[in-house]
Structure 1
Amino acid sequence: MPMENLKLPDGPMSGLVASAVEYMVDAGQRSVLFLDIMRQRGDQYREHVAQTAPHVLQYAAELIMDGRELDEPVNYALVRIIPPRGVEIDMSRRPFVVVDPRAGHGPGIGGFKADSEIGVAMKAGHPCYFIGFLPEPMPDQTIERIARAEAKFIETVISRHPDADGKPCVIGNCQAGWAVMILASLRPELFGPLIIAGAPLAYWAGVHGKYPMRYSGGLLGGSWLTALTSDLGAGKFDGAWLVQNFENQNPSNTLWTKQYSVYSKVDTEAERYLDFERWWGGHVNLNAEEIQFIVDELFIGNNLAAGRIEMSDGQKVDLRNIRSPIVVFCSKGDNVTPPQQALDWILDCYADVDEIRAYGQTIVYTVHESIGHLGIFVSGGVAKKEHAEFSSNIDLIDVLPPGLYEATFEARGTETLNADLVAGQWVMRCEARTLDDIRAMGGNSPEDERRFAAAKRVSELNLTAYQKFVRPWVKGMVTPQMAQWARNMHPLRLQYEAFSSRNPWMSAVKSVADHVEDNRKPVSQDNPFLAFQEQMSKQIVHALDSWRDAQEALSETIFLNVYGSPLLQAAVGIDPNSAPSRRREMSVEHRAMLEKRIAELKSGIGEGGLREAALRALLYVGSARGMVDERSIEALRQVRRDHAGARLTLSEFKMLVREQFFMLLLDREGALAAIPKLLPDDMNQRRAAFAAMREVLSASADITGERAKRLQRIAELFGLDGEGELTSNVAPFDPKARAS
C-alpha cells in the first residue's frame, strides 16, 4: 500500500505516529543516498589512483621542471599555477612557492580550494608555483636528494622573475615544513620569507595530558617497526600507514562523525565530502631510506633543532643559518603538531631574543585557538584570514627588524583608524615577544627529556638488532608481488574498493538512488525523532572520545613510567641525574663574524644622509610601541611613492632597516646624537622628512605617551623645535624623557 494512503489514528498519538513515518521515510532515503555517495567515493578512488600524476589542485598548471629528468631523479615536479580569469598578477611582486606535504596523501592540498594558500597569494597579485610529487618514489631517492631537487626548482623560479621585488616566499605545510627548513638552512640565499604551517620541528615537545602522538615511537619500541614495514613492502613504505596514524588520533571522527555528517546532511554534503576524500584516499609510497630518515632523525631522534643532521657532503643542518624571516603558523586545536612542537625549536636554538638578533633572524609566529591540523591548510576561514594577511603583508614581514614577534589580527570595522590603509578584512600586527612567551605555553621538564632520550637509545638498539638478525630473513621471503598484494589489502584501501561499483551489491545502488532523488521527502527540522538521532550521535561521539582519552592517558602513563625508570636509563647509557639540553653555544667563527660586524656598524653610525636619519628616527619612535602595524608599512609605501628621489629596492630597504636598527640597539644615544650630522642644511627638506615620519607613525594610532616624547626629541634633533611642527595630539616634551 502506498505510504500516502496509510490512515493514521486520531488522537494524541496521531502526531507522534506521523512524525515517526516521516522520519522513517527520510531515514530510508538518506541511507540509500549515503550508500550511493560511498559508491561514488569508491569509483572516484579507483579513477584517482589510476592516474599517472593524480592531484587535487583546483587550478590549471603548467609543468616547468620534472624531477624525474634530473641527474639525480626524484618523483617531484615544479609547476606554474595559471591564474584564473579575473585574477591579475603583478610580475614585479615576489613569487610564492607552495611545497606540498608528502605524508601519505597525494599532492594538491595547498590549492585544494579557491580560498587556499595559492588562491589568496594570487589574489594579492603574486605569481604562484607549486612543488608536488607522484605516487611512486624514484629508485634510490632520499630526503637529501629531494632537497637538492627542490633547490633547483627554486633557482628556476628565481631565474623566471629577475625583476621581482624579493626572493620567493616559500610555504611548507606539515611534513613539507621541516623539509623547507632543512633546505633553507643549507641554501639560505635562495629564500625570501618562509611560511611554515602546521609543521613539527621540535618532535619531543608537548605537555602532559595532551598530544600523545609523541609517545608512539617509544611505545612501539622505536623505528624497527618502520624498517620491518618497509622490508615487507620490498623497499617501499606504504603511505596508507601514515594516514592510518592520523586517523587513529581522532577515532570519533574516523569511525563516526565524518560519515554521520554526510548521512545527516546527505542533500548538501556530497560534493564537499567527495572532494576531500579524493585527496585523503590518494595514498602514496616512500622509499625505505626516506621514511627511516624521517623517523630516526626527526620524530624519534629529534636531531633537527639540535643540529645533529649531516648531509652526505659533511654539511650540517643548522636552523640558525636561515637568513629569511620565518613565519610559524600553528594551533592549540592541532593534536598532530601542537604549538610546542611547532615553536620549541626556537628554545633549542637560541638563549634569548638578543641571540636571535645576533644571527640576524626574524621569527614571527601565530597560534590559532581551535583549528585542527588539516584546517591549517584546508579551511577557507583560515585562508581568508591568516594566509590572506600573510600574503598581503609579506613585505612587512620581510623588512621587520630581527627579533621574535607574534602576529595578531583585529577585524577591520567602521571604528578602525585609517581603514583605507588595510589590505583585507583584518588588521595585522607583529608584536614583540620574548622566549618566555613561548615557555609559557608549557613544555618538557628535564625528567621528560631523559625519558625521550632513553626511548631514542632503545630505538637505536632495537633497530640494530632487527637489521642484523631479522631483516635478512624478511628480505629473502618478500617478493615485489607479495608487497603489492599487501598494499592492496591495506584496510584503508579496502574500504574504498568495497563500496565501489566493482562490488556487485553496489551496482543496484545507483538506480535506487536516482529514484530516491526524484521522490525525495526530507524530514522537517522540528521532528522529534530527528532530535533523538542527533542526541544519539552526540552520545556516540562522547563515548568514542572518552575511550580515546582513556587510551591516551594509559599510553602516557606507560611511556612515562617505562622510560622514566632510572634502571632503564642507566642500562641504555642515559645519566638519570643529568639535565639534558640540546641548545648549542654560538660557534667561535660566528662570534668572530659578529664582533667584526658590530665594529663596522658602530663605525658607520655617523655615515649617511637624510634617508638614514629619517629611518633611524622612525625606528626609535616606533619601537616605543613594541609592535609593527600593517597600516604603518602601507603609509611608508605611500610616502616612498609620493616623494621624489632615488628609489631603493626592497632588499636594499631591508638592509637599511637592519643597519639602522642594530645601530640603535648597539649605541642608542650615540646613534641619536649623530642624526643632526646626517641632515641636509635645507630646512624644507627636514620639514618634509619629519612630516612624512609623523604621517607613518600616526597611521595606526595617535602619537601619545612615550612615542610622543620620543617624537619631540626627534623634532629637536631635526632643528624643528619651537617651529610648531608637532601636531596637537603630541604631548609636550619632557626633558626627563631625554635619557629614554
Structure 2
Amino acid sequence: MQMEVPGSPGGPMSGLVASAVEYMVDAGQRSILFLDVMRRRGDQYREHVAQTAPHVLQYAAELIIDGRELDEPVNYVLVRIVPPAAVQIDSARRPFIVIDPRAGHGPGIGGFKADSEIGVAMKAGHPCYFIGFLPEPVPGQTIERIARAEALFIEKVVSFHREAEGKPCVIGNCQAGWAVMILASVRPELFGPLIIAGAPLAYWAGVHGKNPMRYSGGLLGGSWLTALVSDLGGGKFDGAWLVQNFEGQNPSNTLWTKQYNVYSKVDTESDRYLEFERWWGGHVNLNAEEIQFIVDELFVGNNLAAGNITLSDGQKVDLRNISSPIVVFCSKGDNITPPQQALGWILECYADVDDIRAFGQTIVYTVHESVGHLGIFVSGGVAKKEHAEFSSNIDLIDVLPPGLYEATFEAKDEETTSSDLVVGQWVMRCEARTLEDIRAMGGNSPEDERRFAAAKRVSELNLAAYRKFVQPWIKGMVAPQTAELMRNLHPLRTQYEAFSSQNPWMKAVKSAAEGLEENRKPVSNDNPFLAFQEQVSKQIVHALDSWRDSQEAMSEALFLNVYGSPALQAAVGIDPKGELSRRREMPPEHRAMLDKRVAELRSRIGEGGLREAAIRALLYVGSARGMVDERSIEALRQARRDDSGARLTLAEFKMLVREQFFMLLLDREAALAVIPKLLPDDVNQRRAAFMTMSEVLSASEHITGERASRLQRVAQLFGLDAETLGRASNVAPFDPKAKAS
C-alpha cells in the first residue's frame, strides 16, 4: 500500500492548491468585470437622465397628445404603441391603455419586455396605447389636474376606436392603479374593464407580523416630514426618496443579493441587470402638492376606500360609482401592496355580495402565491400567464354578471376538455366568492383601526404645526440652486455617478475588462472555494434578513403601543372604547334609483323572445356551478346570434345578460315560469336553441348533478322530450322525476 504525502504531486494538498489558484484567478477576473458592469451602469444612468423624455419601453411609440400643451398643462403624454411587424392587430378589438406608476421611477415598465402587459395585449390582437410622464412636473400640477388630462387621453383613444367592440381596457400599475380608480369613479362612462395590478387601495390594511410599511406614517409622526422634504426641494419632492423606501423593505437584496448575483454570474447576468437598472435608476420628481395629496389622503389618511376624498368641484370620489368590471391582481409575496391592501377596499365599500350587485359592479381578483411587487408587472412569467389570460379573455370578464369572483388558472394539456376553445396555455375560470373569502386573508381588528385613526389625527396636528411655525423659515432659506444640489447628492444618485466613466479610476477598469475577453477562465462548478463563497453569501443574506425582521418587529410593537394608548387616542379625539366603522351605507339617491330599476325589471320579466329565454335558462343552469369557464364563454361567443342570424354587439349582449341575471335574482320562479311564453311555436327553433345551450354548458365538463337537474327542467320548459335531452352533449341520463332547485 502506497501513502500519499500532502503537498506531493497528486496529493490532496496539491488539489486544494490548484482549486485555490483556479478560484483566485476567476475571482479576480470577476471582480474586474463586475466593476466594469458598475461603470456601464453609471454611464447608462447618465445617458438616460440626460434625455428629455427617458423611458424603458421596448416598443416604438407615436406621440398622440403632449400634456404640456393642454389648457391645464401636465407632464403626462399619450402615445400609440407601434406593433412589431410580426404582430397582427384586430381593429375590431377593444384598445388597451397602460398607465405607468409615477412612484419615483420613470415610465415604461408596462412595456419593459416583449413578454409584458403591452406585449401580451398586442399578441391577443388589441391596439395598445401608453400613458407615461416626463421627469419634471409642470408648475402647479396636481393629482386632480392629471386625472382630468388622463380623461382627455382616454376620450381621444375612444374616438379612434368607435367601431371596436367595447370601451378601452385600462391597466393601472401600482400608484397608477389608485389614480385609475379615482378617475373611473368620477368618469365611469369612459372605461371598459379595469386591471388594477399591485395597487394599494386600503392603506391601513394588513396583518400583524407582516406589512410593516403601513406603520411608517405613524412612526414618522405623519406627513409633516413629506412637507419638509418638499420644501427642502424647492417645492418638488425627489422620487429617489420613494425608491429608497422600496429598497428599505428588503435590505438583503438592496445591499447584497442584487449585486452579488451579478458578481457571481457576471458572464451571463450583466445585460439583464443593466436592463433593469436603467428603469430602477431613472428617478423623477413630483410637485409638493402631488405628494402631499398622496400621503395625506391615501397613505396616512386612507380616505379613498372610505369615500372621504372631495375634488375641487365638490364631487365625492366614490369607488362604488365605477360601472366597469374591476380586475384586481395582487400577490402574497408583495410586501409593498399585500392582498389585504389591494382588496380591503371591497370590505369598506360593501356589506355583502348582494350589495356589490346592487351597485351593478363586477369585481374579479386573483392572488399570486409568491411573486414580489415589481414582478406583478415586470415578470415575463406573470405576463405570459395572468396578464395574457386577462388580455385574451377581457370580453369574458366584461359580460360576467355582477358579483365577486376569483380568477383561477389551470394549465392546458392533452386531457383538457374542449381545448380548441382555450386561447392560450392556461384555462381561466372565474369562481364566485363572498366577502368572507377576503376577510379570511386577515385584516385589522377594531383596536387596530383605532390605532391608525389616532395616527391620522397626530399627522394632521403635526402637519398644521409644521406649516405654521417651521415651513415659512424653511422656504425662505432654500434657494433653487440649493434644492438642485441636494437632489444631485442623494445617495441613490451618487452611487451611479461614483462608478461612471466620470471617475478617472473607472477608465483603468474598462481597459482591464476589455483585456479579459480572450483570457477569461471561469472557475469549475465543483470548486470547493466557490461552494464556500456561496455559503458566505447565504450567511450574509440570513444576517441582513434577521436584522430586517427584528427592526420590523420593533417598529410594529412601537406603533401598536404608542397609538394603542387610550390616553393618546382620547387626546386626539378617538374614543378608546368605540368601534370605528368605515363601511358606508347606500346613498338615498342610489337606493331610489335601484328601487325604480327593480320595479322596471319585475314588470319586464314576461317580455322578450327566444334570445331572452335562452340566456335566462343558460344563466339558471350555469349558476348551479358557481363559476364561469373561458371555454363556456368562447362557445357562447361563437353562438352569439339570434334566430335571424343578426349579431348582438358586445354592449347589447352584456346588457341582455345583466337584465336576465337580475330577473332571476329578483324572482327566479316567476322568471322561469314565463319562459314557455317567450318561446316561438316552431319546435325546431326551440330545439336548436336548447342544443346550443347544452353545448355551451358542456364546453368545460360533463353536465351532472344539480346542473343536469336544472337542464332537465329547462327542457321541460322548452317543451322538449327526453330524446332531445339525450342527444345534448355530455348530459347525464334524463330522469323525469328529477327536481331542480
TM tier, smaller: over 0.9
Contact 1:709 1:734 in 2 (8 A): no
Name the SS of the counterpart of 1:267 in structure 2: helix
Q: Measure, in 1, the Cα distance between the counterparts of 2:276 and 2:522.
A: 25
Match of 1:676 in 2: 676
Contact 2:687 2:724 in 1 (8 A): no
Match of 1:478 in 2: 478
Give the counterpart letter for 1:732 in structure 2. Answer: F
Change (3 A) 1:302 1:15: same
Give 1:729 deviation, angstroms: 3.5
Matching of residues 648-727 of structure 1 within 5 Å: 648-726=648-726, 727=728
Q: Measure, in 2, the Cα distance between the counterparts of 1:149 and 1:587.
A: 29
Name the SS of the counterpart of 1:269 in structure 2: helix
Offset from partner CA, 1:486-523 (integer Å, 9 cap, x none)? 00000000000000000011111111001112210111
Give the counterpart letter for 1:334 in structure 2. Answer: D
Matching of residues 217-236 of structure 1 within 5 Å: 217-236=217-236
Q: Measure, in 2, the Cα distance between the counterparts of 1:729 and 1:621.
A: 12
Give 1:735 deviation, angstroms: 4.0
Moved more, 173-182 or 726-735: 726-735
Contact 2:188 2:322 in 1 (8 A): yes
Offset from partner CA, 1:538-581 (integer Å, 9 cap, x none)? 11000000000000000000000000000000001000011001
Match of 2:735 in 1: 733
Match of 1:453 in 2: 453
Give the counterpart letter for 1:737 in structure 2. Answer: K
Give 1:644 deviation, angstroms: 4.9
Match of 1:110 in 2: 110
Match of 1:596 in 2: 596
1:508 aligns with 2:508: yes
Name the SS of the counterpart of 2:381 in structure 1: helix
Q: Measure, in 2, the Cα distance between the counterparts of 1:470 and 1:282.
A: 32
Q: Measure, in 2, the Cα distance between the counterparts of 1:211 and 1:14.
A: 52
Give the counterpart letter for 1:344 in structure 2. Answer: G
Match of 1:140 in 2: 140
Contact 1:8 1:18 in 2 (8 A): no
Contact 1:713 1:733 in 2 (8 A): no
Q: Measure, in 2, the Cα distance between the counterparts of 1:10 and 1:610.
A: 89
Q: Measure, in 1, the Cα distance between the counterparts of 2:516 and 2:32.
A: 8
Name the SS of the counterpart of 2:261 in structure 1: helix
Give the counterpart letter for 1:572 in structure 2. Answer: V
TM-score when normalising by structure 2: 0.98
TM-score when normalising by structure 1: 0.98
Give 1:599 deviation, angstroms: 0.4
Give 1:14 deviation, angstroms: 1.1
1:22 aligns with 2:22: yes
Match of 1:12 in 2: 12
Give 1:175 deviation, angstroms: 0.1
Q: Measure, in 2, the Cα distance between the counterparts of 1:383 and 1:634.
A: 22
Offset from partner CA, 1:356-411 (integer Å, 9 cap, x none)? 00000000000000000000000000000000000000000000000000000000
Give 1:734 deviation, angstroms: 5.9
Contact 2:155 2:190 in 1 (8 A): yes
Match of 2:72 in 1: 72
Q: Measure, in 2, the Cα distance between the counterparts of 1:696 and 1:196.
A: 30
Matching of residues 161-172 of structure 1 within 5 Å: 161-172=161-172
Contact 1:170 1:192 in 2 (8 A): yes
Match of 2:32 in 1: 32
Q: Measure, in 1, the Cα distance between the counterparts of 2:642 and 2:13.
A: 79
Offset from partner CA, 1:588-612 (integer Å, 9 cap, x none)? 1100100000000011000000000
Name the SS of the counterpart of 2:517 in structure 1: helix
1:367 aligns with 2:357: no
Q: Which runs of 5+ in 2 are unaligned?
A: 1-6
Give the counterpart letter for 2:32 in structure 1. Answer: V
1:328 aligns with 2:328: yes
Match of 2:517 in 1: 517
Match of 1:539 in 2: 539
Contact 2:725 2:731 in 1 (8 A): no
Q: Measure, in 1, the Cα distance between the counterparts of 2:669 and 2:459.
A: 56
Give 1:9 deviation, angstroms: 4.7
Give me the CA root mean square deviation. 1.1
Contact 1:143 1:293 in 2 (8 A): yes
Match of 1:123 in 2: 123
Give 1:643 deviation, angstroms: 7.0
Contact 1:615 1:657 in 2 (8 A): yes
Contact 2:325 2:362 in 1 (8 A): yes
Q: Measure, in 1, the Cα distance between the counterparts of 2:505 and 2:198.
A: 41
Give the counterpart letter for 1:733 in structure 2. Answer: D
Give the counterpart letter for 1:148 in structure 2. Answer: R
The percent of aligned pairs where both chains have the same amino acid is: 84
Contact 1:364 1:405 in 2 (8 A): yes
Number of residue equivalences:
733
Q: Measure, in 1, the Cα distance between the counterparts of 2:412 and 2:723.
A: 36
Offset from partner CA, 1:403-422 (integer Å, 9 cap, x none)? 00000000001110011110
Q: Measure, in 2, the Cα distance between the counterparts of 1:8 and 1:425.
A: 60
Give the counterpart letter for 2:87 in structure 1. Answer: V
Q: Measure, in 2, the Cα distance between the counterparts of 1:251 and 1:200.
A: 22
Contact 1:8 1:17 in 2 (8 A): no
Moved more, 509-518 or 177-186: 509-518
Give 1:10 deviation, angstroms: 4.1
Match of 1:300 in 2: 300
Match of 2:415 in 1: 415
Q: Measure, in 2, the Cα distance between the counterparts of 1:358 and 1:640.
A: 27
Match of 2:608 in 1: 608
Give the counterpart letter for 1:620 in structure 2. Answer: Y
Name the SS of the counterpart of 2:183 in structure 1: helix
Give the counterpart letter for 2:563 in structure 1. Answer: Y
Q: Which runs of 5+ in 1 are unaligned?
A: 1-6
Match of 2:96 in 1: 96
Name the SS of the counterpart of 1:645 in structure 2: coil
Q: Measure, in 1, the Cα distance between the counterparts of 2:139 and 2:335.
A: 34
Q: Measure, in 1, the Cα distance between the counterparts of 2:723 and 2:41.
A: 75
Q: Measure, in 1, the Cα distance between the counterparts of 2:8 and 2:525.
A: 21
Match of 1:260 in 2: 260
Offset from partner CA, 1:137-187 (integer Å, 9 cap, x none)? 000000000000000000000000010000000000000000000000000
Name the SS of the counterpart of 2:228 in structure 1: helix
Change (3 A) 1:487 1:523: same
Match of 1:431 in 2: 431
Give the counterpart letter for 2:319 in structure 1. Answer: L
Matching of residues 208-287 of structure 1 within 5 Å: 208-287=208-287
Matching of residues 552-571 of structure 1 within 5 Å: 552-571=552-571
Q: Measure, in 1, the Cα distance between the counterparts of 2:49 and 2:137.
A: 15
Q: Measure, in 2, the Cα distance between the counterparts of 1:422 and 1:396.
A: 12
Q: Measure, in 1, the Cα distance between the counterparts of 2:41 and 2:340.
A: 36
Q: Measure, in 2, the Cα distance between the counterparts of 1:8 and 1:292.
A: 72
Name the SS of the counterpart of 2:739 in structure 1: helix
Contact 1:705 1:731 in 2 (8 A): no
Match of 2:550 in 1: 550
Q: Measure, in 1, the Cα distance between the counterparts of 2:555 and 2:272.
A: 35
Contact 2:643 2:685 in 1 (8 A): no
Q: Measure, in 2, the Cα distance between the counterparts of 1:430 and 1:290.
A: 37
Contact 1:365 1:406 in 2 (8 A): yes
Give the counterpart letter for 1:519 in structure 2. Answer: N
Name the SS of the counterpart of 1:268 in structure 2: helix
Give 1:27 deviation, angstroms: 0.5
Contact 2:98 2:170 in 1 (8 A): yes
Give 1:698 deviation, angstroms: 0.4
Q: Measure, in 1, the Cα distance between the counterparts of 2:100 and 2:10.
A: 63
Give the counterpart letter for 1:32 in structure 2. Answer: I
Contact 1:624 1:706 in 2 (8 A): yes
Matching of residues 37-48 of structure 1 within 5 Å: 37-48=37-48
Give the counterpart letter for 1:331 in structure 2. Answer: S
Match of 2:4 in 1: none
Name the SS of the counterpart of 1:710 in structure 2: helix
Offset from partner CA, 1:279-327 (integer Å, 9 cap, x none)? 0000000000000000000000000010000000000000000000000
Change (3 A) 1:8 1:329: farther
Give 1:18 deviation, angstroms: 0.8
Name the SS of the counterpart of 1:562 in structure 2: helix
Name the SS of the counterpart of 2:268 in structure 1: coil
Match of 1:491 in 2: 491
